[in-house]
Chains A and B, each alone.
Chain A
Amino acid sequence: MTPHAQNRTLELHDVSRRFGATIALDSVSLTIASGEIICLVGQSGCGKSTLLRMIAGVDLVDSGRILLNGQEVSGPSRFVEPEDRKIGFVFQDYALFPHLTIEQNILFGLKRHPKQEAKARVADIIAHIGIEHLIGRYPHMLSGGEQQRVALARALAPQPDILLMDEPFSNLDRGLREKVRDETLSLLRGLGTTVIMVTHDPEEALSAGDRVVLMKAGRIVQAGSGYDLHDRPVSAYAAEFFCAFNRLSGIYRNGHVETAIGRFAHELDAVEGTPATLYIRPQGISVSPGPGSVSGQLKSRTFLGEVEQLAIDVDGLETPLRVRTMHRLPPGTQTVGLHVLPGSWLAFPAI
């Protein structure tokens, strides 16, 4: 093993997979460093779970190679069985064995270890995760949050090189989900575990991952930090995945996109005079009562607590503008002035 391989826990080279006529993965390449927390995000069917299953070795690659700690585990010449990969997996349904107690479930992955050592490991991990009180019970006697923690303990007990998690929090109630997610991630950061987590929730991806990998139709759209993906999306798809933008059609001229509500500076790799689409964040528009340089009619207002969501009809726009604001408009306001804050818009050539 070369020394620098220590830092590259996992490498994917042009990994492809198809099921019949559908292409699940189309030449995916990705390198993941030791201790990184990666979030694979995308709509269902984008190939993110397939990718996870291939890394684990419970599914085959059609072409391409997967390297674990510098050694090929899936590829044209070699296939390492999942039981020989030292990978932990937390499943969406947790997959706790119903015929075994919690303790036996956690011991399941330690069969190759001497009995005393295995027992000590179990004691260690359950103390760490705080589930000592559950060990004698069976999975069906546990709440969703408890099952999730047991699944995590079971996956971590054999001290895997990489932990894979497939939608690990999606089965939890909304309130519980955030708490469990925060606890889990701080635990994993504390252990320095390399984590690849799959989610379909953009907010979860942005908040949880050191690096976010957005996928679509078997390909990687964009990979980078959460800030990168949210603030500097490379495509309209990436932009809209993380934010519910207002879409305005316009024309690209002179480094600006001209729309019904004004000209917005944005350099585009496009021909002069071609159509372009302007994307404005709902929280990037400020409103004031009475007419302004751009005016609109308040169509509806939905109070959400911290913010209020407004729908504003503007002359020349087909759909009302969506605005999220913390500013309280007086009751009975009808006409409002609009101002788009700098840095809150993006533009892409219209397709």
Chain B
Amino acid sequence: MISAARSWPRGRAGARWLLGAGTVASLVMLPIFALLLQALQGSAGLWSHLAATVLPVALADTIILLCGVGLITAVLGTSTAWLVTAYAFPGRRVLEWALLLPLAVPTYIIAYAYLDILHPIGSVQGAVRWLLGYSSPREFRLPDVRSMTGCILLLGFVLYPYVYIPTRAMFLTQSANLIDASRTLGISRRAVFWHVALPLARPAVAVGVSLALMETLNDIGASEFLGVRTLTVSIYTTWITRTDLPGASQIALSLLMVVVALVAFEKWARGKQRYSTGAQRSRAFESRRVSTAKGLLLFFGGLLPIFIGFGAPAIYLVNEAWKRIEFAGLSSRFLNEAFNTIVLASAATIITVLFGLLVAYASRLRPGAATAWLQRLSTLGYAAPGTVVAIGVLIVLATLDGFIDRTAAAWFGVSTGLLFIGSGAALLYAYSVRFLAISAGGIDAGLARIPVSFDHASRVLGQSAAGTFRHVHLPLSKAAITAAGLLVFVDCVKELPATLLLRPLNVETFATHLYGEAARGTYEEASIAALAIVVIGILPVVLLSRMGQARR
């Protein structure tokens, strides 16, 4: 007997999940559409005004910055990846994970730290002068970090791990047999890098560089502190100082076009190759033993980017934070900021993980073109810089706030004020849009490891689609979901541009506090906030390095 046949014509479990995923995708697309609409509505006069004033400088600065950072990250990321893959020397294992550490330092924090470390009357420049026999900054000083060059270098030294990670994975998995083959074909050990390994790794380098450049476009603090007027900075100032939403949206649209160009560049740079690790596990790449002297040289060579990108700023922050705590203790204001940071990031993480589950599980239940598109659309926010997302969300929710306020005033005679923007809902919305790709992607990867026959087995054994999710998928992808949640949490803590634009009045987080002090040029509790962010930022580095080891 067939009991309790729930039937709907040609339907299948998953219709509700599909609807949910569709809703999520719409929520993600809404701010971007709103932005396009707003930008297109702006008068033509505004466009020509922008084109004559802000845009040329901002666009030029942005492109120079992108080229510079792209070059530095490509060189640093590829060479460090080759260093720890091709050569065996004492300390290599340490380097392998330590090279990830600069990921823990957000761009605005490295800029903040180096502004002080390299201050003309600071101890570093003082030591250099003492060594060279000068006595006053007027006689000799290092080139100012407040410059395009400084910005490129600093961003390069914290963003190179984006290239290092995929490139090393590529070297480890794919090249082994091919490199051996090329050596038997008479290519020298030295030439192998240029002729085999590097061309093979090109797709990985392209992926890494494009990620690093997305981060560069997203950056607001470093560029502003160092005096580089990028598009992102222009959007911020256009909105904050001039409250010019159409103008901000139009610059945001230009920024979005740069992103599109970047994605096109990535596709082109990959060429016809695909960044895939071979299906059959090939032998691990065999590294070459080197002499002790050369080993030491390689070790310190590998240590250099870690020191610049993580070591020096970390030591500086610990030192400054310690001095501050000894001098004044932790203020209640700081504790309040910690609370704000944690609560906002946690709430955003919960929402983002739930959305991610919805999107990832819908495409598992109903594989096909529809869910593939929904997933692609839902994860679009990650490519959009924080300012762009924030402006989009601002347009959507300001409209909604205004509508609710007017309606309430008309019907009940009360003003609701800025319901969404005032409550922080806008910020949570922006965080979710921006980081949904991390959560959906991570959960999707976790689900992909579960054979489809498990789903079928569970359904045939009497569980509904939802029950299967609860009893089979959830327990089996717990680790992936937790990892995705952790990554989202940390990114929310580090996030600056959207937080600056959308935080409710008088709400400060670690990131905005640091920004405020750096912008004012005061150096008080910012070091503690920065240190807290870096410490939290180390969590995903630990996770990444453990994942790297598990793959061996």
Contacts and interface: CB of A to CB of B under 8 A. Distances in A.
Asked if chains A and B come from one complex, the reply is yes
Interface of A: 1, 53, 56-58, 60, 68-69, 71, 73, 76-89, 91-93, 95, 97-99, 108-109, 111-112, 154-155, 158
Contacts of B4: 84
B451 interface: yes
Given A80-B6, A83-B463, 15 more contacts: A79-B7, A79-B8, A80-B7, A82-B459, A83-B459, A86-B1, A93-B451, A93-B453, A97-B454, A97-B472, A109-B460, A109-B461, A111-B463, A154-B457, A155-B460
Nearest to B462: A83
* Most B C-beta atoms less than 10 A away, residue of A69, A88, A95: A95
B121 to A, nearest CB: 61
A86 B2 contact: yes
Nearest to A104: B471
Which 5 A-B residue pairs are closest in the complex by CB-CB distance?
A109-B461, A95-B453, A95-B457, A82-B459, A91-B453
Contacts of B463: 83, 108, 111
Contacts of A81: 5-6, 12-13, 459, 464
A77 B2 contact: no
B459 A58 contact: yes
A58 B9 contact: no
Given A79-B7, A79-B8, A93-B451, A108 B456 contact: no
A79 to B, nearest CB: 6
Interface residues of B, number: 31
A85 B451 CA distance: 22
A211 to B, nearest CB: 23
B476 interface: yes
A79 B12 contact: yes
B484 to A, nearest CB: 19
B2 A85 contact: yes
A154 B463 CA distance: 14
B3 A84 contact: yes
A80 B9 CA distance: 10
A158 B459 CA distance: 13
B7 A78 contact: yes
A58 B319 CA distance: 61
A89 B2 contact: no
B10 interface: yes
B451 A95 contact: yes
Contacts of B413: none
Interface string B462-477: 1110010001100110
Nearest to B458: A108
A111 B462 contact: yes
A53 B459 CA distance: 11
Nearest to A68: B2
Contacts of A1: 1
B457 A69 contact: no
A252 B454 CA distance: 54
A88 B459 CA distance: 10
Contacts of B6: 80-81, 84
Contact of B455 (A58, A87, A98): A58
B456 A95 contact: yes
Contact of A80 (B5, B457, B467): B5
9 contacts: A73-B5, A76-B9, A80-B6, A81-B12, A89-B456, A99-B475, A108-B458, A155-B460, A158-B461
B278 interface: no
A342 B368 CA distance: 56
Contacts of B133: none
B143 interface: no
Contact of B10 (A60, A71, A85): A60
Given A58-B455, A69-B1, A83 B464 contact: yes
B477 to A, nearest CB: 10
Contacts of B2: 68-69, 71, 73, 80, 84-86
A56 B458 contact: no
A64 to B, nearest CB: 13
B456 A82 contact: yes
A315 B490 CA distance: 81
Contacts of B458: 97, 108
A277 B507 CA distance: 88
Nearest to B475: A99
A99 B5 CA distance: 30
A158 B7 contact: no
